[in-house]
Amino acid sequence: MKEYLEISPAVKAALLAGEPVVALESTIISHGMPYPQNVETALQVEAAIRDAGAVPATIAVIGGKLKAGLTASEIEYLGKKGPAVTKASRRDLPVLVARGADGACTVATTMIIAHLAGISVFATGGIGGVHRGAETTMDISADLEELGRTPVLVVCAGAKAILDLGLTLEYLETKGVPVIGYGTEELPAFYTRTSGFKVDYRLDTPEEIASAFRAQQEMRLDGGMLVTNPIPEEYSMDPARINAAIDEAVADARRLGIHGKETTPYLLARVKELTGGDSLSANIQLVLNNARLATRIARALVS
Ligand code: PSU
Ligand code: MN
């Protein structure tokens, strides 16, 4: 494993000292936001984690190495290259590593590398899930399988309504993944605080979430935990407006025959186009909010 994994000095020191570490993904940098906002946001999220008392570990594949903890110039490199970097899910790791190539890590791959490095808390924006129309396309994100097998706690703002949220929850239930609402009984839908679907459990403090995760791991139940954290009220978007944009984006993707790993990046970019800058600033704010909650959970876990 040593030859594949590279943990940055700051992350290694924190892990050795039993200090809290929060993992961050890199697909959100290269495929989720435009340059230069992607790089600015990634650095701002790292700073928010440091300010709240943990060490950030942004995760990516660079030159065939599984990296836990990037330098600012590595973040800049991934952000500038953007979609030219391979979007790397579980199935992409073998060939990227063998070729010595770069990869931007999805939620699934970030969980894998975080776990290899010994990091158990990870903050992101939204997870992949069961796509609308999956009953015929079978387009179900590998993120869900990973949540079912890899012991990492993922903090997100729920899932975007580009997905079928009901089927996504059913899939997580089948895989035995606890879906926690932080201070809410309803699954948040990324840009909005509500979705009409219920989470499994509402927990109101980082300490309660940390105890549930600790119990899951000590019982060796396998798999991760999904903590859904609603976007702060002041940044949430008008549901009618965002849902109209999402419906239009899904229809465009169908018409253009977009499929496979292109689907999620296409839908994210199209929704952004259709809503102007508003969806981007909401996106940045919810990631910061998730990073702060993940830091509080990571601190509770090591105390
Ligand atoms: N959903 C979002 N923003 C994102 C993604 C999903 O709202 O940036 C990214 C994440 O990296 C996630 C990936 O892991 O897309 C899922 O892609 P796919 O559906 O191809 O598995
Ligand atoms: Mn897919």
Torsion region of 237: left, alpha or beta (phi above 0 gives left; psi -120 to 50 gives alpha): beta
Torsion (CA) 132, 136, 138, 139 in degrees, nearest 10: -40
Closest approach atom of ligand 1 to CA 31: 8
pTM of the full structure: 0.97
- Rounded to an integer, what distance in angstroms lies between the CA atom of residue 246 and that of residue 96? 32
Is residue 158 helix, strand or coil? strand
Average pLDDT of every residue of the chain: 96
Asked if 93 contacts 266 with a C-beta cutoff of 8 angstroms, the reply is no
Pocket of ligand 1 (CB under 6 A): 25, 27-28, 32, 89, 106-107, 125-128, 141-143, 160, 190, 261, 264, 268
Provide the H-helix boundaries in 55-188: 72-81, 93-99, 107-117, 134-137, 142-149, 165-174
pLDDT, tens digit, 9 for 90 and up, residues 80-114: 999 999 999 999 999 999 999 999 999 999 999 99
Domain interval for residue 40: 5-302
Taking the centre of ligand 1 as the mean of its atom positions, its distance from the CA of residue 185, in whole angstroms, is: 24
The mean pLDDT of 257-283, rounded to a whole number, is 91
Q: How far is the CA of 89 from the centre of ligand 2 (A)?
A: 10
pLDDT the model gives residue 1: 73
Residue range 31-89, pLDDT digits in tens: 999 999 999 999 999 999 999 999 999 999 999 999 999 999 999 999 999 999 999 99
Catalytic residues, by residue number, are: 25, 160
CA of 113 to the centre of ligand 1 (A): 16
Tokens for 169? Answer: 């929850």
pLDDT at 68: 98
Report pLDDT for 277: 79
In the chain, the percentage of residues whose pLDDT exceeds 70 is 100
Residue 2 has pLDDT above 80, yes or no: no
Total domain count for the chain? 1
The CATH number given to whatever domain includes residue 133 is: 3.40.1790.10
In angstroms, the CA 25 to CA 91 distance is 16
